[in-house]
Amino acid sequence: MTTLTTAPLADEASKRSWTRLFGWGLLLAVLAWSWRGAEMDPLALIRDSGNMATFAGDFFPPDFSNWELYLKEMIVTVQIALWSTLLAIVCAIPLGILCAENIVPWWVYQPVRRLMDACRSINEMVFAMLFVVAVGLGPFAGVLALFISTTGVLAKLFAEAVEAIDPGPVEGVRATGASALQEVIFGVVPQVLPLWISYSLYRFESNVRSATVVGMVGAGGVGVILWEAIRGFQFAQTCALLIVIILVVTVIDVLSQRLRKQFI
Amino acid sequence: MSAVIRVEGLNKTFGRKQALYDLALSVQPGEMVALIGASGSGKSTLLRHLAGLACCDRSDGGSIEVLGRQVQVQGRLNGEVRRLRADIGYIFQQFNLVDRLSVLHNVLLGCLGRMPRWRGTLGRFSSEEKQRAMQALDRVGLAELALQRASTLSGGQQQRVAIARALCQRAEVILADEPIASLDPESARKVMEILADINRRDGKTVVVTLHQVDYAMRYCRRAVALKGGRVHFDGATDSLNPHFLNDLYGADLDASLLLADKARRPRASALALALAKA
């Protein structure tokens, strides 16, 4: 009995070490192959350091002469983030529950999950370009673009929270004669609410960051003037814009982190 | 009088292991029945089937009737089972309260099965329902904790809240699955007193699974003992004697250990052989 079990164990161990070695070899091969594909050239940083110093010099001192416009556009950016997140939360609640395998049968959660995967897999910049064509230039296109991708992300996160619940309370509600929807409302939602709030606030933070970029394709907010400044080689203005973005994003991150801590 | 609970030919198989064999049981109105047996004997499984929380086998699964209405036949739940459950109060070993809701809110959930669906879904409980919930809480002696979060209560208190939920539900039958298994002796006594009181004063039918036979003998007149998924004994608790109990628990426990060991060993060596070859 003992010899029978130890012999295959030793065999197993040596097999595992070979597998591990092969895994590392494969990883190194992929890294080397990608180095050439990505045209990695760290020496360029040293070779062209003179150019870069001149380039960096152009950024300073930052030119804040248009600060009122910058701030106004930055506020629009935050407003885009706010609405896109809100719409996404509203849609992600039912969709997240329909993605949870402990709540619905596979023929519901499989298609809904694939749909959410599609929402997530396409970057918000791509959606922004599409919506600029559909609804015209401006912040609303940005809202729609961020809304779609955020719905995909939040539905997945919400579903994961639902899948981690304690089934006991749900059964407790079921035993009272409640309907399936009532089981979810009274048995599931109270358990996942703190996590849902925390995830939503986190997505709001990320959406403020993303909203600065969607503007670059004409979907409103600070991104539009940032893109114009870069294209016009107005680096002192670019620098001022970047500082405004960093400040606002930091403030929002800190505030939302504080709020999130209340719910965990 | 016709039976409140009628189980006929119930068979249940989990994977390849059969948990209940051709089980029959009949409980009359107003009875308080103890369901006893070693762990794995099928008592909890039987109770879950009574409330339609589990389904019996599709082929030759038998049938369950509660209060004259079919709960399940041949592994198919009655389409109206959600409404039927309103008449069947269920007490769980782990209480199964919603931790983040208040005690009162948890008791109010007991009304869900009897109110219009839209009103229950919106959580709009009437003042009459709130009063009923407070009365139920008062009866289990926890009225002053009504506004606390359920998670802040001790185990014994949580179990009493769960009983209040079943009271508020106005269930005719109360099924209690190991209600005192995770409680200290004092809380256990209180919980059993309340269940016995509901049986005596309100005339509700109570079926309670118990590990501790002394509780069964003290609170219930009738006991049904399960062994290996079959009814091993059904009669007055007075006639339970040490010799019988030893047979019910001791022997069964040893046999199951031996069997499990024997069943595991050949499979383990077969696995080892297969690994050695590969």
Tell me which residue range forms the domain holding B87.
5-240
**In the predicted model, what is the mean pLDDT of residues A111-121?**
91
- H helical segments located in chain B: 43-50, 81-84, 103-108, 117-122, 127-139, 155-168, 185-202, 213-219, 242-245, 252-277
- Within a domain: residue B262? no
Residue B39 per-residue DSSP state: T
Q: Contact, B74 vs B12, CB < 8 A? A: no
pLDDT exceeds 60 at position B3:
yes
Contact with chain A for residue B203, Cβ under 8 A: no
Q: Contact, B45 vs B19, CB < 8 A? A: yes
- Within a domain: residue B204? yes
**In the predicted model, what is the mean pLDDT of residues A181-204?**
92
Q: Which residue of B has its CA nearest to A188?
A: B98
- Within a domain: residue B276? no
Cα angle B67, B69, B74 (rounded to 5 degrees) comes to 125
Residue A214 pLDDT: 84
- A16 contacts in chain B (CB < 8 Å): none
Closest C-alpha to B7, from B72, B85, B81: B72
- Within a domain: residue B49? yes
pLDDT exceeds 50 at position B274:
no
Q: Give per-residue pLDDT as tens, A42-65.
A: 888 888 888 888 888 888 888 888
Q: ipTM for the complex?
A: 0.83
- Within a domain: residue B245? no
Domain residue ranges of chain A, discontinuous segments joined by +: 2-48, 67-263
Residue A7 pLDDT: 57
Q: Contact, B4 vs B205, CB < 8 A? A: yes
Rg (chain A; Cα; Å) = 25
CATH of the domain at B126: 3.40.50.300
Closest C-alpha to B114, from B133, B95, B100, B99: B133
Q: Which residue of B has its CA nearest to A183?
A: B121
């995909």: which residue's tokens? A152
**In the predicted model, what is the mean pLDDT of residues A102-120?**
91
Q: How far is B267 from chain A (nearest CA, A)?
A: 12
Contact with chain B for residue A181, Cβ under 8 A: yes
A257: pLDDT confidence band, cut at 50, 70 and 90?
confident
Contact with chain B for residue A191, Cβ under 8 A: yes
Cis peptide before A61 (omega within 30 of 0): yes
Q: Which residue of B has its CA nearest to A4?
A: B272
Residue B69 has φ and ψ, to the nearest 5°, of: -120, 140
The CATH class that applies to domain A67-263 reads: mainly alpha
* Among B83, B85, B121, beta carbon nearest to A185: B121
Q: At what angle do helices A67-98 and A139-163 cross, to 10 degrees?
A: 40
- B84 contacts in chain A (CB < 8 Å): 177
């503007």: which residue's tokens? A215
Number of domains comprising chain B = 1
Q: How far is B116 from chain A (nearest CA, A)?
A: 10
Contact with chain A for residue B53, Cβ under 8 A: yes
- Across the interface, whether the CB atoms of B90 and A175 are under 8 A apart is answered yes
- Interface contacts (A, B; CB < 8 Å): 99
Q: Contact, B76 vs B55, CB < 8 A? A: yes
